[in-house]
Amino acid sequence: MWGTIRKYVNIFRVSLIERTAYRGDFLLGTILRFFPVITTILLWTAVFKGARRSRIAGFSEQRMIAYLLLIHISRMFSSMPGLSATIAHDIRDGTLKKYLLQPLDMIGYLLSYRAAHKVAYITTSAGPYAGLFLLCSGYFVGLWPDALTLLAYIVSLLLAFLIGFFFETAMGMAGFWFLEVTSLLWVVNTVNYFISGQMFPLDLLGPPWDTLLKWLPFQYLAYFPAVVFLREVQGRTLVEGLLRELAWAVVLIVLSRWLFARGLRRYSAYGG
């Protein structure tokens, strides 16, 4: 067991060294992502002025913009660009067998690799994001969480990483049953962008849609960590939310493993 753990720790270490070689690309990508942030702030400022209301679905202008800024932190942990497409590509082209011919678990390898990628990206992006939040500190006046809420926020982000990873992994397993999944993945990612709360808080949808979407795992990719930080959920509601997030992480882990095991039964390893 310890030998297996050590193997994936070494994969993480080597991947981290590899990813830090691209820290300039991470830094440039982070700065370019700030342009949509400016657009978002201008858009919602105009929306509130046009609506002539101090609150929309319980969110003030200050809270709304703070929420949309926090979404970028949520996605920093939960987004897994290219993961599902890479898995499907490996299955289709037969290169999946590189994992089968070695004492190496594909999902474990990819998890270690993505964890290293996240550590490198977050470390490199910490400075620019700190500068952004300093410039936008006025939107967070009176909204900073206490120590216990901040701990819950960190836990929600770590669980968001697991949910994001294993959801994308499960989607990639569709490659065992379909030769081409590009369109499917595009549709899923487009819908996911909406129902995870990246465009706006799910509360704006109103009942019953907001209640329904809050029972699905997608809210934990963006919406839930942001509202934890803003103390929109507290006490027992917060604990229940974290437990549900943990439960969804476990469900997706089991689903990914099950799909992988079932898929290998029909895998022919052509190509590669």
- Residue ranges of domains in the chain: 2-266
Task: Output the six-digit token pair for 229.
Answer: 């930080």
Other Cβ atoms less than 10 A from the Cβ of 117: the count is 20
Contact by Cβ (8 Å): 33, 89: no
Per-residue tokens: 239: 């604990």
Instruction: Read off the pTM.
Output: 0.88
Tell me how far apart the alpha carbons of residues 38 and 17 are, in angstroms, rounded to a whole number: 33
- Cα(9)–Cα(25) distance, integer angstroms: 25
pLDDT digit string, tens, across residues 32-82 = 666 777 787 888 888 888 877 778 777 888 888 889 889 988 988 999 988
The pLDDT score that the predictor gives to residue 32 is 66
